Amino acid sequence: MEHRRRPRYPGKNPRRFEDKYKELDPTHHPETMAKVLAAGKTPAGSHVPIMVAETLEVLRPRPGDFAVDCTLGYGGHAQAILEKIAPDGHLLALDIDPLELPRAEQRLREAGHNSGQLTLAKSNFAGLPAALARCGHRGADLILADLGASSMQLDNPDRGFSLKNEGPLDMRMNPSRGISAAHWLSKVSPQKLTSLLLANSDEPHAAPIAHHLAGRNFATTMELTAAIRRALPATAEEERELSVRRVFQAIRIEINEEFTALDTLLRVLPQCLNPGGRIAILSFHSGEDRRIKKAFQTAQHEGLYREIARRVIRASPEERHDNPRSTSAKLRWAIR
C-alpha cells in the first residue's frame, strides 16, 4: 500500500477544515472525536443532534410506527427514532443535500438499518405528500423537521457558508439547483437586499450594508465578510461580527428559499399525519419560529390539530454549555 504523508499544520491542533483528517474519519479516530465533543465543539464533518431527548418526548415514537425525518443531516435524530420504532417500524428520511445524503445513508446502513426499516430520498420537504406517496403511505405517525443548515454544510469551506474559512461564495444546500450566493449578490438591487436583510435576519444596519454589497462581485466568503466589515466602520467590533453572521444567514435563507419551503411544509403537514400523529419542529431564528407558531395556531383554530405547544421548549443549560449551537434552538409541536 502506498505510504501517505500525514498532513502538516502549524501549532498543536489543526485549524483548517481540510487538516482535520482525524475528525473527518471518526471510525478510525474515536478518541479525537470524544476530545473535540468534550471541548464543546462539533467535530469536522459531523453534526451534534440538538434536543434529542426533548424531541423524543414530544414525538413519542413507539415500536411499529411509521416516522418521517424531513431533514436527515448527519442522522442523529434519525438514529434515535429508528431505535424507538424498531423492530417493525419504518423511517422515511429526506434531505436536499446530494453530497451529505449518501454519507448519512452509508452510516445508517452500517449501523444495521436495512431497507425494511429505512427509506432515504433526496427530496425537498415541501414535497412531503409526494414523498409519502412514493413510499406507499398517505400519513405518518410522527414527523420531525430540524430546520436550517447542518454543521457539515456550515463548516466545510468548499460549500461556501463558512464565516471563518475561505471558500467559493456558494451557500447552496443543493449545489445542483438554483444560483450561488455570489451570482445572486451580483444581480440584486440595494432596495431588495435591504428589505431581505430586515425580513430574514432583523439586521439593524441593513441599509448601509446593502449599499456596500448589492450588485457587486464577490468570489469568496472572505471577500464578503471583509466587505460587510468595511460597510460598518464606526460600529463596535462585537456588533460588527454579529452583523456578519446575520448577513450570511439572510443570504443563505434567500438562496435556499428556506421560508418558501417551510411555509409549504406547514401548509401540508396536517394532511401528512395520521389521526393522533405528532409533529415536532426545531427552528433557529425568529423568522422561522414566528411562521411555525402562527401556522400551528391557525391549523388548530381550523380543527386540523387537536393540541399544539403553548410555549417553545429550549435546550437545557447543560446542552447549551456542551453544544453552543443549541442555544438558539426552539422546539414546537402539534398533534393531529
Ligand X SMILES: C[S@@+](CC[C@H](N)C(=O)[O-])C[C@H]1O[C@@H](n2cnc3c(N)ncnc32)[C@H](O)[C@@H]1O
Report the interface residues with ligand X, using CB under 6 A: 47, 49, 70-71, 73-77, 94-97, 100, 124-126, 146, 148-150, 173, 261
> Which residue, 145 or 244, has its beta carbon nearer to ligand X?
145
Cβ of residue 4: shortest distance to ligand X, in angstroms? Answer: 30
Q: Cα–Cα distance between 163 and 221 in angstroms, integer? A: 7
Q: Are strands 307-308 and 66-69 parallel, antiparallel or unpaired?
A: unpaired
Hey, how many other C-beta atoms are within 10 angstroms of the C-beta on 12? 6
> Which residue, 47 or 240, has its beta carbon nearer to ligand X?
47
Cβ of residue 79: shortest distance to ligand X, in angstroms? Answer: 8
Cell output for 313: 421548549
280 forms beta bridges with 144, 333
> Which residue, 73 or 157, has its beta carbon nearer to ligand X?
73
> Which residue, 22 or 47, has its beta carbon nearer to ligand X?
47
Closest CA to 218 of 210, 209, 227: 227
> Which residue, 75 or 157, has its beta carbon nearer to ligand X?
75
Cβ of residue 147: shortest distance to ligand X, in angstroms? Answer: 6
Cβ of residue 268: shortest distance to ligand X, in angstroms? Answer: 12
Q: Which residue is nearest to ligand X (CB)?
A: 73
Q: Cα–Cα distance between 111 and 74 in angstroms, integer? A: 13
Closest CA to 284 of 158, 161, 147, 153: 147
Provide the residue count of the chain.
336
Q: Cα–Cα distance between 145 and 22 in angstroms, integer? A: 30
- Cα-flanking dihedrals φ and ψ of residue 310, to 5°? -85, -30
Cβ of residue 65: shortest distance to ligand X, in angstroms? Answer: 18
Cβ of residue 236: shortest distance to ligand X, in angstroms? Answer: 30
- Cα-flanking dihedrals φ and ψ of residue 332, to 5°? -125, 155
> Which residue, 171 or 261, has its beta carbon nearer to ligand X?
261
